[in-house]
Chains A and B, each alone.
Chain A
Amino acid sequence: MNYTQHNAPIHEALLRHRKNRVVPFDVPGHKGGRGNTELTEFLGIDCLKADVNSMKPLDNLIHPVSVIKAAEELAAEAFGADAVFFIVNGTTAAVQAMIMSTCKSGEKIIMPRNVHRSSINALVVCGAIPVYVNPGVNHALGIPLGMSVEDIKKAIIDNPEAKAILINNPTYYGICSNLREIVLLAHEAGMKVLVDEAHGTHFYFGENLPVSAMAAGADMSAVSMHKTGGSLTQSSFLLCKNDISPGYVRQIINLTQTTSGSYLLLSSLDLARKNMYLNGKAMVEKTILLAEYAREEINKQGGYYAFSSELMNDDTIFDFDLTKLSVHTAEIGLAGVEVYDLLRDEYDIQIEFGDMGNILAMITAGDRHFEIERLISALSEIKRRFSKKMVGMLNHEYIDPEVVFTPQKAFYHDKKSVALVSAAGHIAGEFVMCYPPGIPILAPGERITKDIIDYIRYAKEKGSSLTGPQDMKVEYLNIIDF
């Protein structure tokens, strides 16, 4: 069959399947919802009827030959990639597949320290060695930036045997590195470029946005279609280009990905790709207008600083994603996490995250003016009711780690538990993360310092949710036991 971007092959196959009224004597056992009426009432019968198993007319995610293959090819065309894989284990799985497809045990990979936990998890699994590059830091805002080209150059010269460079682009805050230049440098040195593009799906479809990984010539990219592309949570795309072998990548993905890929997730990816290809330009335009309006109104209130492209510096903030609404809150005497909690607890508004000095609200084409007005008004109320004199803001988010062991060696090493307050000087045996955004404060194998302990205690005090350690309260840490 000859498919175009107006088709959604998986979706269409599911519609045909439903029309054929095939009698199910296979899994799932709810059999179109009849076996679980409460769930069916909750989710709707159409949803349960689309929750089916792989079968010949619906193809098979672990070895696609028909409709999934066609949908992957359409996605490749839409994203300007050579090959695309549908991922149903979250962008985490896509990031891990990128690293495991390009680095083996003992091989080096260059990456910024403010990577998502999924990247370091991949190193625990595959045994690759991280070479961390400091992201730049904006001290006034307390946010990590992109990677500087000079730092990348130096890392390449110091580690010529490294196999790949991983880049977060855009960062959670919407900050982009000079991707084109980094790709050139890496390719000259024979290294692959992997992009964690979790927050950049819309770059492929809108105008006035930073360059996408594929357009910049990167080799692989993990795209969270569910974040800004409109598919269901947990669904993602892995994009490949240049001389990455799709057959090998498929084998890597199949090491860990489920053999019963959810058709709810697969069809959502398929339809989201179609929607973004056909309507993405207008959707992104609307999103930027909403975000720009919100920034203007929030900045008018004073106290807050909704930052944007004016921060661009041709290097660590090479470009800025205008759809992101990041607001610096520290000047009104409130930590970002405090504003984040107030918005939800007092005003029934859930935003994406709050860190020590900032909040981030996700704006998409799914928003309306009403919600934007509510957010702006709630922020003005928070300022009126809760603002304090700015005191005691811990003004740095980024702590340069000393990597003593590889993440894998540290993770599997004998460990003992010590009180957080007396952990300085030891080597961490586990992660400590502030969630959201899920970026590690400590990773296995890193030296624990007083700065790090202070930061953990400060984050706890401000109400951040800390995850990672076996001790859920993070009063004790596992350290390497010699």
Chain B
Amino acid sequence: MELWYSEQHTDYVRFSLKIKEQLFCGKSEFQQIDILDTYEFGRALTLDGYLMVTEKDEFIYHDMIVHVPMATNLNIKKVLVIGAGDGGTIRELTRYQGIEQIDMVEIDEMVVKACRKFLPQTACKLEDPRVRIYYEDGLKYVRRKENEYDLILVDSTDPFGPGEGLFTKEFYGNCYNALKEDGILVNQHESTYYDAYVEAMKRAHKRIMETFPIARVYQAHIPTYPSGHWLFGYASKKYDPLLDLKEKEWNALGLTTKYYNTQLHKGCFALPNYVTEQLNEA
């Protein structure tokens, strides 16, 4: 018998992985959660049928969401992570000795439980003493914070479903308020190769631009995400991700990374023309 998992990337495009076995299947108050063991990509987490992480390519996403802001401001001490139930973002953050506190706000406890059990590759550092996990709506959490964080990472699902509130102007405004005067916000910013995602990405970019004085977009290549081409949003009250890059200092930390390096940091803000055009239209 052949078992295949398919994700509908558009109405007319499917992405399929051959499955060895299904390791976890659960329905929480918020979503359907599955963990699959695949032949090519190792273990994979899906939420409501959408692929979130695989063991084989998660390093790209997690390197890029964490190291780009960290190399821009090496004095980051207090970090807020929204979403990130698989733990991969936390794992990368815990590699920095200078970080004193990581607050993680994940709406769905079942995701964390399932990942702790079946995705230790990403969930391995959730026990770090600097990490505090709050199970609540990210929008609600951040609303009550003011001038508290050096960095906010929004490691969310897509702008439909439980992550919807994390692509809104009120959320970006609340983040602005929760950040210190030199704070940085990085969010997963979707992709625009397929038309269906373009409007959501533009709206998100417009809202961030209206909220932060510095707002950029950078890219990475993530094979299991729709089109394989993925965007991140970088926003800050003070630091420009290129002008303020601490290249020497970051390299002196001696962190080994599989995807990120400071050369790539400088390159990833150079975007294809069609993406630049879409951003200009936002």
Contact = CB atoms under 8 A, between A and B. Distances in A.
Do A and B bind?
A: yes
Interface stretch (A24-32, A377-385, A440-448): A377-385
Interface string A325-358: 0000000000000000000001110000000000
A346 B174 contact: no
B177 A377 contact: no
B170 A370 contact: no
Contact of A380 (B143, B165, B168): B143
Given A370-B162, A377-B143, A385 B173 contact: yes
Interface of chain A: mostly helix, strand, loop or mixed: helix
A376 interface: yes
B169 interface: yes
A347 B207 CA distance: 9
A374 B165 CA distance: 6
Nearest to B163: A370
Interface string B151-179: 00000000000101100111101100100
A192 to B, nearest CB: 48
A370 B137 CA distance: 8
Interface in A134-171: none
How extensive is the interface on chain B, given as a class?
Answer: 10 to 19
A298 to B, nearest CB: 11
Contacts of B177: 384
Contacts of A370: 137, 139, 162, 164-165
* Max chain A C-beta neighbours (<10 A), residue from B170, B171, B173: B170
Contacts of B169: 346-348, 378, 381
Given A369-B137, A384-B177, A377 B164 contact: no
Contact of B137 (A346, A348, A373, A381): A373
Contact of B173 (A348, A373, A376, A381): A381
Given A376-B143, A385-B173, A348 B165 contact: no
Contacts of A377: 139-140, 143, 165, 168, 170-171, 173-174
Given A347-B168, A348-B168, A370-B165, A384 B173 contact: yes
A404 to B, nearest CB: 49
Nearest to A375: B170
Nearest to A377: B170
A373 B174 contact: no
Interface in B174-197: 174, 177
* Max chain B C-beta neighbours (<10 A), residue from A348, A369, A373, A380: A373
A373 B173 CA distance: 14
Contacts of A347: 168-170
Interface in B115-172: 137, 139-140, 143, 162, 164-165, 168-171
Interface of A: 346-348, 369-370, 373-374, 376-378, 380-381, 384-385
Given A348-B169, A377-B174, 8 more contacts: A370-B137, A370-B164, A376-B140, A376-B143, A377-B140, A377-B173, A380-B170, A384-B177
18 contacts: A347-B168, A347-B169, A347-B170, A370-B139, A370-B164, A376-B140, A376-B143, A377-B143, A377-B168, A377-B170, A378-B168, A378-B169, A378-B170, A380-B170, A380-B174, A381-B170, A381-B174, A384-B177
10 closest residue pairs by CB, A with B: A381-B173, A377-B170, A378-B170, A373-B139, A377-B143, A373-B140, A381-B170, A373-B137, A377-B139, A347-B170
